[in-house]
Amino acid sequence: MLKKKITKILVPLDGSKNSNRGLEMAIVLARQCGAIITGVYSIHAPPHSEFRGVGSVEKSHNTEVEKIMDSAKVLAAQNGIVFKEKILRGDIGYNIVKLAHGKDKFDMIVLGSRGRSSAKQMFFGSISNYVIHASKIPVVIVK
């Protein structure tokens, strides 16, 4: 008998095909466990960005993030899953792990192996590689 029940699943989203596959896998797992999914979009925001203060760039990016989250919300709802959303700014991998281990206490992270990151590694994207090594909770990587 399993002692740990999965009730909260964290799914990092960025609009990529692999990110969407991660969401689909999280929905399958959530249906089997009766879990809630929280989708997180972390905006990489360096401390001193040359785009800071450029309203049109930020506004179009926010519109894109809203579309990604709305699409995820609809897919989850179509499958009878409660979907919550979080949008964070800063280092993406760090934000994912910090949120997963924070006050919400997630039971699992499900993420695509490669997203939109320009830094590509041999088998995993740099974000998923970081999350695998830094997380203290189970991580499911979807290829």
Q: What is the pLDDT of residues 58-117, one digit of tens each?
A: 667 788 999 999 999 999 999 999 999 999 988 999 999 999 999 999 999 999 987 554
The pair phi, psi for residue 48, each rounded to 5°, is -125, 85
Q: What pLDDT shows up at residue 120?
A: 43
Amino acid 143: pLDDT: 86
Cα dihedral across residues 47, 69, 141, 118: positive or negative: negative
Residue 25 lies in a domain: yes
The reported pTM is 0.85
101: domain CATH number is: 3.40.50.620
Q: Is residue 30 part of a domain?
A: yes
Band (pLDDT 50/70/90 cuts) for residue 121 is very low
76 belongs to a structural domain: no
- Beta-strand ranges (E) seen in 32-128 are 36-43, 83-89, 108-112
pLDDT at 29: 97
131 falls within a domain: yes
Report how far apart the first and last C-alpha atoms of the chain are (Å, whole number): 29
Residue 121 lies in a domain: yes
Confirm whether 107 is domain-assigned.
Answer: yes
pLDDT value for 62? 83
Query: What range does the domain containing 115 cover?
Result: 8-54+81-142
Cross-sheet strand order for the sheet of 83-89: 83-89, 36-43, 8-12, 108-112, 139-142
Phi, psi dihedrals of residue 102, rounded to the nearest 5°: -75, -160
Residue 122 pLDDT exceeds 70: no
pLDDT digits (tens, 9 = 90+) for 11-68: 999 999 999 999 999 999 999 999 999 999 998 776 655 555 555 556 677 889 999 9
Tokens of 36: 């809630």
pLDDT at 116: 52
Q: Determine, yes or no, domain membership for 19.
A: yes
Arithmetic mean of pLDDT, 4-14: 94
Question: According to the model, what pLDDT value does residue 103 have?
Answer: 95
The total of structural domains in the chain comes to: 1
The answer to whether residue 104 is domain-embedded is yes
* Nearest alpha-carbon partner for 26 in 6, 45, 51, 42: 6
